[in-house]
Structure 1
Amino acid sequence: MKKIMFSFAIFGALCSVLCAQDSNSQDDIKYLAFMRTPEDVFNQHHPETINVAGFNEITRHFADLPNSKVKPGIGFIFSYLKTDIDTVQVDLKRFLSLSLKTNTPVLVKLDGEQWWQNRPDLWNWWDPELPGYDPNNRNNVEWRWWEPEYAIKIAWRNWGRQLRVLPPPNLMSPAYRNACHEAMDQLMPIVLDWYKALPDDKKYLFIGLNLGWESSIGMNAYYYPNGNDLIDVPEIDDVHKPYIHDDVLSRGYVQIGYASVKTAGIRTSGDINESDIVKVSQMHVEDLCKRAYDFGFPREKIFSHGVGNPKGEKLYDVALNKYSCPGWSTYDRPDMPESNIGINRCLDISDANQWAATEWLLLAPHEKALWKTAFEKTLSYRNCKYLCVFNWELIRKSPEVIEAAREVIKENAIK
């Protein structure tokens, strides 16, 4: 009898272990993540701001829920050309250690495209009074025609409001590509070593590595006529011209992209076309994803980030490559993913086994039923692995949205 009881005890313990492992099987898990706005609470210039309080502000809303196949998570963007790389390394280590400490899945987004203030040695071609000045840096920024003399000094971005930004990089400049590679090579070991060291029943804490950021030319950094002349004019006097989605080349502004297209060897004269912009943007994203894949990240943990808009234009294809799973910004009716022309066209031809709504927001009133439906529809559509709400700070004071997320997680509880 003792042997039988002992056998049952072993069997029961084994079942408990297997059930625990199965409940966190990475293949079955989906994530409902929230991106923290850079420099709101978490500030990559100051690693001490990446702390447990910033995690708990989000996780406390879900702490009482049962173990679920839909897990809440936190994302953060590490812009590796915006801050010195030593500081970014500290930021990343703190972020990952807090994931394990608080048992919170995390999405690591690496950006070298939208913000690159810390590298004037790449972009400052015009001001000898500023650090990094070198006239040859014209080759590292975008142009408004085919020669370096048309290099731009300034650009504009509209993420809710218009702001001035640095000239966008020539995505194919060897110096720029090397800068991205060198920074990634210092950050990727931190993530991969952390992931490999996680116990099997904690591997689910790594949602993935997100590369690119709505990668494109002229969408998130556009240029006005005579823009270089405006650099010394007060920003308050800047022109404000609406963005034109239907103009797939210049978006209603001055056409740029000549530096990237020429450096890539795609074209050296004439007019740029839509395919040129798509091809060079895709080369950029594929290079980043290949870098991570060759470094040792499994494909199912690498997610690209392509543009999303109502027209389903060719630019969606930028997210497709053989090294990553595709991801897109999803603002256009995320409650009806079946109507998204671009995502569905790309998923029809993608050989990846999953995708992500890697920048997601429902542009609708904060009503629980609306948001719950949108969360459910996105996560259940064509093997979506995760959605990441951009940003937590937009919904943190909305009990209706938070309760919608809670209900989705609760209703997917593991029995």
Structure 2
Amino acid sequence: MVRKLTGLLMLAALALGAGGAAGAASTTPDDDTRYLVFMRQPEELIFQEYPHTIHPGVFRDIREEFENLPASDVRIGMAFVFSYLKTDLPTLKASLKRFLHFARETDTPVLVKFDGEQWWQERPDLWNWWDPDLPGYDPANRANVEWSSWDPDDALKIAWRNWGRQIRVLPPPNLFSREYRAACHEAMDELLPIVRQWWRALPAEQKDLFIGVNIGWESSIGINAYHYPDGNERVHQPAEHDPDHGIELSEVPDRGVAQIGYASVRSAGIRDRGDITEDDLYEVIRRHLRDLSHRVHRAGFPREKIFTHGVGNRRGEKLYEAALNEYACPGWSNYWNADDPAQNEGIMRSLKKSDAPYWGSVEWNLIGSRDGERWKRALEKSLFYPGCRFLCVYNWEHIDDSEAVMDAVRAVIRDHARDRNE
């Protein structure tokens, strides 16, 4: 898109979760504030593996576009993705600390996004089950990646992704592999205290710089890492010979390519035979996001500071509802109905079921449009839909050269100026 477990006790723990986190930091949210957040595109100017690329300038690029505007119920913020299985943890921690430090220095509200799904190059000890010439080789690692059947011999060696153009990627993780979940937990347990300590140290007048933690990244199976039939046979063939038709989102559950998800469904204890169903994949993602949300909650974050990142097709499939759990506020990508979230059947149905204080439009863009009036209308319809805490535009680098879009953002800020609304 434009983006095992060994033993029934552990399965039960992940499925049912644990109780609330003792001593979770509390906050009194300002219900009138909405955040209009811009994602900085990874590996454009900021590289998480190079901490020095995070500096005041990447914050000021955004802030300077919206200077000399009145205090408003709409605040401008910035987001960045920290993929914790892509870079060694000491380096990633250094990058995260710089990100937070300069957010405070530049007085920029930030959304901190953690990803353990889309990129995991740093952990061949988890995914390399097939190539003895690469680091981390261990045939047992087939348990940590997805399969295209119930047979471990059909563990994936390769997958494809299309976020504007098709690329080859590593096989997606078995989301309920014991080793994979442990890796996610260990990384989050290193990173979350950094965020919490920074937040708690902020002076009262800057507490609102912390928008929240966003976990998941269009969490799904077979959407952002899909597999073609006979895909493993293509590993050592030139990429130019790969099929390029991609997925058909409306074709649930296989998305019009090879069905995957067998490893996650089996490891989660859902089933180990028969045809995989939409409900099976929904349940895997629901448990996955619930587990991550609980991990953030137990690290001391209240529900209003935790947001999931769900996804679904334009038909409103059940997968949207996987973003709901008792520890987090739900969030979704919304490209299909970017002009008006009320037209997104999956988001609207899920919001009716949610008891969370907020929700987030966590990945959004009016793709292909630079019409300022359209942008203004669309931004307001999302930001001021009941309960919306923030809208995150993917990516700043895609729209920063459009004065019409910048003017639309300025108009939204002015129209919701606090002195005007009092």
TM over 0.5: yes
Q: Tell me what 2:213 maps to.
A: 209
Is the Cα contact below 8 Å between 1:367 and 1:401 reproduced in 2? yes
Which residue in 2 is equivalent to 1:6?
Answer: none
Deviation per CA, 1:336-363: give whole Å up to 9, x if none.
Answer: 2211100110010101021000001113
Write the distance in 2 (CA, Å) between the matches of 1:118 and 1:71: 35
1:67 partnered with 2:71: yes
Aligned position for 2:184 = 180
| Correspondence list, 1:8-407, <5 A | 26-407=30-411
Displacement of 1:308 in angstroms is: 3.6
**Distance apart, 1:29 and its partner CA:** 1.1
Contact kept? 1:333, 1:362, Cα under 8 Å? no
CA contact (8 A) 2:223 2:249 kept: no
Cα distance in 1 between the residues matched to 2:366 and 2:260: 31
Task: Determine helix, strand or coil for the equivalent of 1:178.
Answer: helix
What is the one-letter code of the residue matched to 1:211? I
Once the two structures are TM-superposed, the CA of residue 374 in structure 1 deviates from its matched residue by 0.4
Instruction: Give the AA of the match of 2:287.
Output: M
List alignment gaps of at least 5 residues for structure 2. Answer: 1-27
Per-residue deviation at 1:318? 1.1
Identity %: 56
Deviation digits for residues 90-123 of structure 1 (CA, Å, limit 9, x no counterpart)? 1100000111100000000000000000000000
Residue identity matched to 2:187? A
List gaps (5 residues or longer) in structure 1: 1-23
Q: Under a length normalisation based on structure 1, what TM-score does the superposition of the two structures give?
A: 0.93
**Residue identity in the other structure for 1:84:** D
CA-CA distance at 1:69 after TM superposition: 1.1
- Please identify runs of 4+ aligned residues in structure 1 that moved more than 4 A: none
Alpha carbons 1:308, 1:331 under 8 Å: kept: no
Q: The residue matched to 2:418 in structure 1 has which SS?
A: coil
User: How many correspondences in the alignment?
Assistant: 392
The whole-number CA distance in structure 1 between the counterparts of 2:105 and 2:293 is: 29
CA deviations 1:201-240 (Å, max 9, x no partner) are: 2111011100001101000000011111101111122111
CA distance in 1, matches of 2:295, 2:327: 9
Deviation of 1:199 after TM superposition, in Å, equals 1.4
1:413 lines up with 2:411 in the alignment: no
Task: Tell me if structure 1 keeps the 8 A contact 2:174–2:264.
Answer: yes
Deviation at residue 364 of structure 1 after TM alignment:
4.5
1:202 is paired with a residue whose SS is helix
Letter in 1 for 2:196: L
* CA–CA separation in structure 2 for the residues paired with 1:144 and 1:310: 25
The one-letter amino acid of 1:386's match is F
Contact 2:246 2:257 survives alignment (8 Å): no
* Cα offset, 1:54, TM superposition: 1.1
Given that 2:226 and 2:247 are in contact with CA atoms closer than 8 Å, whether structure 1 keeps it comes out as no
> Structure 1 residue 319: deviation in Å?
0.4
* Paired amino acid for 1:209: V
Shift of 1:322: 0.3
CA contact (8 A) 1:35 1:392 kept: yes
1:78 is paired with a residue of what secondary structure?
Answer: strand
- State how far apart, in whole Å, the 2-side matches of 1:334 and 1:224 are: 30
Is contact 1:82-1:116 (8 Å) kept? yes
Deviation at 1:243, TM superposition (A): 2.1
CA contact (8 A) 2:293 2:306 kept: yes
Give, as a single letter, the amino acid of the residue that structure 1 aligns with 2:75.
Answer: K
Give the counterpart letter for 1:114 in structure 2: Q
Q: Which AA in structure 1 matches 2:191? A: L
SS state at 1:60 partner: helix
Aligned-residue RMSD, C-alpha: 1.0
Larger radius of gyration: 1
CA-to-aligned-CA distance 1:324-346 (integer Å, 9 cap, x gap): 00000010122222111001100
Contact 2:383/2:390, CA 8 A, preserved across alignment: yes
SS of 1:40's equivalent in the other structure is: coil
Does the 8 A contact of 1:309 with 1:331 survive in 2?
A: no
Q: TM-score, normalised by structure 2?
A: 0.92
